[in-house]
């Protein structure tokens, strides 16, 4: 039995309900997909049938496979609402491969004729693209490897090699359905795949370009990392031990551009997925209003000593700050998706953040800021036609955070692919103004135009943060 599992209760096992065939391969299985896409897909099969069982893959480590395999890949999804928890067992994952153990087995799985869709949650950095140009970063070590070695390491590498195998076998390509929080996420993954394919085999690239489909999506559900205490919480509710449950909020939304290879997909429409022609307005709304304030609250809340988003937003100063960001700075840059009222959307977001049953760590959201800032904060700043002191304070909060020391002088565990470079830039400058200037020079994060536009207000905000601390800086931004 795994360490940490509550004792004296039977282990969760898979029921003997008939299993569907595998129609989907998922790359990068984490708590988010298990709480979101996997549940929608299970519901779509329960309603309308179809062989859309999921063969999942972890691209890095075996932890999830080792926890789920003894349970037949069944797991508990615990919905944590302000009024209590409810649990369901999800049985839609048919197998879980750990890619580095046998890359060829994953490629073979993706090349099975029954597989029509490959879904992905590999986080922003997993696309190995250059956010400024949208093209594949050929200098990325995994891409450099995947260019010549047919045993890939990167997500684009697996997609290209599997498409190559399908092309060689005379099969149709699969639809690539990205579920990561990137603007135009379908176009991003398409470009990454085409760039790599072009470098490997131009004829393959041409086939993918004409026959492949890469719908954009907007995904939404708040899913904090499962903590050790959650295993007991789930066991107490269900009477079963589960080594890898997921905890999620009640809310969910999935908007998908309805553009699949040969129109082959689960009956998403039957289970509340919005199938649309243009995802862009949904994507921008969600990235700027939800993820933009999430990151702002994560950096400033962390610096002010708040451990979770719920703690941060039940602090009235931070709740007012979020409101101010939405009303004065973010909403004026957006076009509301049809049928959506942005004021109501903001009010619902605040209630979701304040849900006391969800412990979403500010530290978790603060991760990978260099990959998140452009689409969450900087796009809004670029589009804004009036000053945005709140968002500039959030950017300054990120700069203070990646300096690696909190307001009490304690080191911060900064997780970011650029962490070492960020620390070097911050440590190499002495005055607040120099630190801001050094970080604004990072062209992977800030375009020259945005850097120039926000330099003065971010410097002022950074000076206030350094002199007075995050809470006082937020109060000042609110005119308190």
User: Residue numbers of the site for ligand CS2 (CB under 6 A)?
Assistant: 181, 220-222, 290-291, 294, 364-365
Tell how far CA 98 is from the center of its chain: 20
Q: Which is nearer to ligand CS2, 181 or 453 (CB)?
A: 181
Question: Nearer to ligand CS2 by C-beta: 220 or 311?
Answer: 220
- List of residues 6+ apart from 159 with CB closer than 8 A: 27, 110, 118, 176, 189, 193
Least distance in Å: CB of 348 to ligand CS2? 13
In the complex with ligand CS2, the residue whose CB is nearer, 71 or 181, is 181
Q: What radius of gyration, in Å, describes the C-alpha atoms of the chain?
A: 22
**Minimum distance from CB of 308 to ligand CS2 (Å)?**
12
| Residue among 115 and 349 whose Cβ is closer to ligand CS2 | 349
The two structure tokens encoding residue 163 = 């498409």
Residue 342: name the closest of 330, 351, 359 by CA.
330
Q: Considering the complex, state which of residue 91 and residue 311 has its C-beta at the smaller distance from ligand CS2.
A: 311
Q: Which residues contact 202 (CB under 8 A, 6 or more apart)?
A: none
> Whole-number minimum distance, CB 195 to ligand CS2, in Å?
26
Tell me 174's DSSP state: P
CB of 401 to ligand CS2, least distance (A): 13
Output the six-digit token pair for 462. Answer: 């950074």
Closer CB to ligand CS2, residue 130 or residue 291?
291
- For the CB of residue 222, give the shortest distance to ligand CS2 in the complex, in Å: 5
Q: Which residues 6+ apart lie within 8 Å of 160 measured at CB?
A: 146, 152, 193, 196, 197, 200, 204
- The values of phi and psi at residue 172, to 5°, are -75, 155
Are 24 and 54 spatial neighbours (Cβ–Cβ below 8 Å)?
yes
- To the nearest whole angstrom, how small is the minimum distance from the Cβ of residue 20 to ligand CS2? 27
DSSP code of 411?
B
Which one, 222 or 381, has the nearer CB to ligand CS2?
Answer: 222
Q: How far is the CB of 295 from ligand CS2 (least distance, A)?
A: 6
Which residue number, 218 or 235, has a Cβ lying nearer to ligand CS2?
218
Residue-wise burial string across 60-70, b where 16 or more C-beta atoms lie within 10 A, e elsewhere: eeeebbebbee
Q: Least distance (Å) from ligand CS2 to the CB of residue 225? A: 9
Element (H, E) at 210: helix 202-211
Is 398 within 8 Å of 303 (Cβ atoms)? Answer: no
Beta bridge partners of 22: 53
Q: CB of 252: closest distance to ligand CS2 in angstroms?
A: 9
- Number of neighbours of residue 4 by Cβ within 10 angstroms: 10
**At 194, is the secondary structure helix, strand, or coil?**
helix
> By Cβ distance, which residue is nearest to ligand CS2?
294
User: By C-beta, is 48 or 291 nearer to ligand CS2?
Assistant: 291
Nearer to ligand CS2, 293 or 453 (CB): 293
Q: What are phi and psi of 109, to 5 degrees?
A: -65, -40
Separation CA 70–CA 73 (nearest Å): 7
Give the sign of the dihedral formed by CA 421, CA 29, CA 251, CA 78: negative
CB of 375 to ligand CS2, least distance (A): 11
């Amino acid at each position: 039995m795994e360490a940490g599992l509550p004792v004296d209760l039977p282990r969760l096992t898979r029921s003997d309900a008939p299993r569907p065939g595998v129609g989907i391969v998922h790359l990068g299985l984490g708590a988010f997909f298990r709480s979101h896409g996997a549940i929608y897909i299970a519901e779509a099969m329960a309603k309308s049938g179809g062989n859309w069982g999921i063969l999942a893959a972890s691209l890095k480590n075996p932890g999830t496979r080792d926890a789920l395999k003894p349970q037949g890949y069944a797991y508990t999804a615990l919905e944590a609402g302000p009024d209590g928890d409810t649990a369901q067992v999800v049985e839609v994952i048919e197998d879980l491969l750990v890619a580095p153990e046998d890359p060829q087995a994953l490629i073979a799985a993706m090349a099975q004729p029954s597989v029509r869709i490959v879904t992905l949650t590999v986080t922003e950095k997993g696309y190995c693209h250059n956010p400024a140009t949208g093209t594949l970063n050929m200098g990325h070590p995994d891409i450099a490897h995947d260019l010549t070695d047919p045993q890939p390491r990167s997500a684009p590498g697996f997609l290209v090699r599997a498409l190559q195998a399908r092309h060689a076998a005379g099969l149709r390509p699969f639809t690539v359905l990205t579920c990561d929080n990137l603007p135009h996420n379908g176009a991003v993954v398409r470009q990454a795949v085409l760039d790599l394919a072009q470098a490997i085999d131009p004829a393959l690239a041409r086939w993918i370009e004409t026959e492949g489909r890469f719908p954009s999506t907007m995904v939404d559900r708040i899913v904090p990392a499962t903590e050790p205490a959650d295993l007991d919480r789930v066991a107490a509710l269900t009477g079963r031990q589960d080594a890898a449950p997921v905890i999620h909020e009640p809310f969910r939304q999935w908007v998908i551009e309805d553009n699949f290879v040969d129109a082959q997909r689960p009956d998403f429409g039957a289970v509340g997925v919005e199938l649309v022609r243009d995802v862009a307005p949904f994507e921008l709304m969600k990235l700027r209003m939800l993820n933009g304030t999430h990151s702002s609250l994560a950096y400033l809340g962390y610096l002010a000593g708040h451990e979770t988003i719920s703690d941060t937003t039940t602090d009235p100063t931070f709740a007012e700050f979020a409101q101010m960001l939405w009303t004065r700075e973010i909403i004026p840059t957006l076009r509301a998706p049809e049928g959506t009222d942005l004021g109501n959307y903001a009010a619902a977001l605040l209630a979701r953040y304040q849900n006391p049953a969800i412990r979403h760590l500010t530290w978790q959201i603060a991760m990978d800021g260099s990959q998140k800032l452009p689409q969450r904060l900087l796009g809004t700043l670029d589009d804004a036609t009036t000053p945005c002191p709140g968002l500039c304070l959030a950017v300054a909060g990120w700069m203070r955070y990646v300096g690696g020391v909190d307001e009490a002088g304690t080191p911060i565990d900064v997780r970011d692919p650029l962490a070492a470079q960020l620390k070097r830039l911050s440590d190499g400058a002495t005055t607040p103004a120099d630190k801001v200037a050094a970080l604004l020079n990072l062209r992977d994060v800030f375009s020259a135009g945005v850097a120039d536009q926000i330099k003065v207000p971010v410097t002022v905000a950074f000076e206030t943060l350094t002199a007075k601390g995050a809470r006082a800086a937020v109060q000042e931004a609110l005119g308190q």
